[in-house]
């Protein structure tokens, strides 16, 4: 397997060099050569030890590979979560690797490269940051909470209206504040760390949250869909919170919509 220091070196060297920026679905949905290089390195390294395992990688899916989560052992990879941050030098950039068997997350690793923070979790064994046990916030009052969210890469007016409608409603609860790290994986690790009470987003992808979903739950947090009920990692919708009552209060304020699922083949 690649060492964390190797991943950090690849990202930091790229930050010093010229960063070739390309786009995917829109002018604000960015990808760099570093995204592609890191994903290739991770997959090659894993395949050497586990040649029969399956992979879901952000850049592989963007190149046309299927995004199917089966019962087979599957590695779910986001080589750079926070690509826009990376392009601009904003210091929240993570490598996210989750491992699933029977469609259940078994372990997750989120490495915040520039902070040098390694978040890890194994099912039933707890969650940690640089070896220190993580525990979600004990705050019970949403009015004394910080909520994290993101604004996504869609600039469709209807989607933007829904995003800001939710944001306005949550701010007016009122909450102490709303924050956005620019990385879904890091936002969820902040929930696990107790720094914020909840994170919600519509429009994320399975590779953004697979690893960090286990980190949140192993730190004592809860995961829900934005309309209530169990979270579906392929649905591109999630609420992660320190406790169920906080999650349910946020759900009441979200203007819900359903983006195309990750496991739905794109229309030709």
Residue 156 bears catalytic tag: no
Nearest to 112 by CA among 183, 213, 160: 183
The Cα–Cα gap between 220 and 171 comes to 25
Residue 38 sits in the same domain as residue 149: no
The partner residues of 74 in beta bridges, in order of sequence, read 54, 100
Active-site choice (7, 35, 39, 81): 81
211: its two tokens: 């690893």
Residue 58 bears catalytic tag: yes
User: 112 near 119, Cβ under 8 Å?
Assistant: yes
The partner residues of 76 in beta bridges, in order of sequence, read 56, 98
Residue 26 sits in the same domain as residue 123: yes
- Secondary structure letter of residue 100 according to DSSP: E
Residue 175 sits in the same domain as residue 113: no
Residue 160 sits in the same domain as residue 118: no
Residue 87 sits in the same domain as residue 155: no
Average pLDDT, the chain: 90
Over residues 164-198, the pLDDT tens digits come to 999 999 999 999 999 999 999 999 999 999 999 99
- Secondary structure letter of residue 187 according to DSSP: H
H or E stretch including 45? helix 33-49
Q: Look at residue 259 and tell me if it is in a domain.
A: no
Nearest to 209 by CA among 63, 62, 108: 108
Residue 36 sits in the same domain as residue 117: yes
Query: What's residue 16's pLDDT?
Result: 56
Domain, as residue range, for 75: 4-133
Q: Look at residue 65 and tell me if it is in a domain.
A: yes
The Cα–Cα gap between 124 and 121 comes to 9
First to last CA, the chain: 36
Residue 155 sits in the same domain as residue 213: yes
Query: What's residue 268's pLDDT?
Result: 47
Q: Look at residue 267 and tell me if it is in a domain.
A: no
Q: Look at residue 179 and tell me if it is in a domain.
A: yes
Residue 76 sits in the same domain as residue 124: yes
Query: What's residue 89's pLDDT?
Result: 87
Residue 116 sits in the same domain as residue 10: yes
Active-site choice (39, 78, 197, 262): 78
CA 105 to chain centre: 14
Residue 68 bears catalytic tag: no
Residue 83 bears catalytic tag: yes
User: Is the peptide bond preceding residue 174 cis, with omega within 30 degrees of 0?
Assistant: yes
Report residues of the chain scoring pLDDT below 50: 1-2, 268
Q: Look at residue 102 and tell me if it is in a domain.
A: yes
For residue 91, give Cα distances in angstroms to 116, 186, 209, 252.
11, 11, 19, 32
Active-site choice (7, 35, 58, 150): 58
Residue 157 sits in the same domain as residue 125: no
Give the CATH number, domain containing residue 40: 3.30.540.10
Residue 254 bears catalytic tag: no
Q: Look at residue 157 and tell me if it is in a domain.
A: yes
- Which phi and psi (to 5°) does residue 85 adopt? -60, -45
Residue 233 sits in the same domain as residue 197: yes
User: 82 near 98, Cβ under 8 Å?
Assistant: no
- Secondary structure letter of residue 144 according to DSSP: G
Q: How many CB atoms lie within 10 A of CB 35?
A: 24
Residue 208 bears catalytic tag: yes
Q: Look at residue 71 and tell me if it is in a domain.
A: yes
Query: What's residue 15's pLDDT?
Result: 59
The Cα–Cα gap between 133 and 129 comes to 7
> Scanning the structure block, which residue is given the tokens 């390309």?
22
Residue 41 sits in the same domain as residue 159: no
Active-site choice (208, 218, 253, 262): 208
Query: What's residue 94's pLDDT?
Result: 95
User: pTM of the entire structure?
Assistant: 0.90
Over residues 41-69, the pLDDT tens digits come to 999 999 999 999 999 999 999 889 999 99
Domain boundary among 133, 166, 185: 133
220: its two tokens: 């004592």
User: 153 near 204, Cβ under 8 Å?
Assistant: no
The Cα–Cα gap between 16 and 29 comes to 22
Q: Look at residue 268 and tell me if it is in a domain.
A: no
Domain boundary among 111, 133, 155: 133
How many domains would you assign to the chain? 2
For the four alpha carbons of 215, 218, 224 and 229, in that order, the dihedral sign comes to positive
């Amino acid at each position: 397997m690649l060492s964390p220091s190797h991943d950090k070196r690849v990202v930091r060297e790229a930050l010093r060099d010229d960063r070739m920026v390309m786009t995917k679905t829109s002018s604000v949905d960015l990808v760099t050569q570093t995204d592609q290089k890191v994903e290739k390195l991770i997959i090659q390294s894993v395949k050497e030890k586990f040649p029969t395992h399956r992979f879901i990688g952000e850049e592989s899916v963007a190149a046309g590979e299927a995004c199917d989560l089966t019962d087979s052992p599957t590695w779910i990879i986001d080589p750079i979560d926070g690509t826009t941050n990376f392009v601009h030098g904003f210091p929240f950039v993570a490598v996210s690797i989750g491992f699933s068997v029977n469609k259940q997350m078994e372990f997750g690793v989120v490495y915040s490269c520039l902070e040098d923070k390694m978040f890890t979790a194994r099912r039933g064994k707890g969650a940690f940051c640089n070896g220190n046990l993580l525990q979600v916030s004990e705050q019970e009052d949403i009015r004394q909470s910080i909520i994290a969210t993101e604004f996504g890469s869609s600039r469709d007016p209807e989607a933007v209206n829904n995003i800001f409608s939710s944001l306005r409603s949550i701010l007016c609860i009122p909450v102490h504040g709303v924050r956005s790290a620019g990385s879904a994986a890091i936002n969820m690790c902040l929930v696990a760390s107790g720094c914020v009470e909840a994170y919600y987003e519509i429009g994320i992808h399975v590779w953004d949250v697979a690893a960090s979903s286990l980190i949140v739950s192993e730190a004592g947090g809860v995961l829900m869909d934005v309309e209530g009920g169990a979270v579906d990692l392929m649905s591109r919708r999630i609420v992660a919170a320190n406790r169920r009552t906080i999650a349910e209060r946020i759900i009441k304020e979200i203007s819900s919509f359903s983006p195309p699922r990750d496991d739905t083949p794109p229309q030709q």
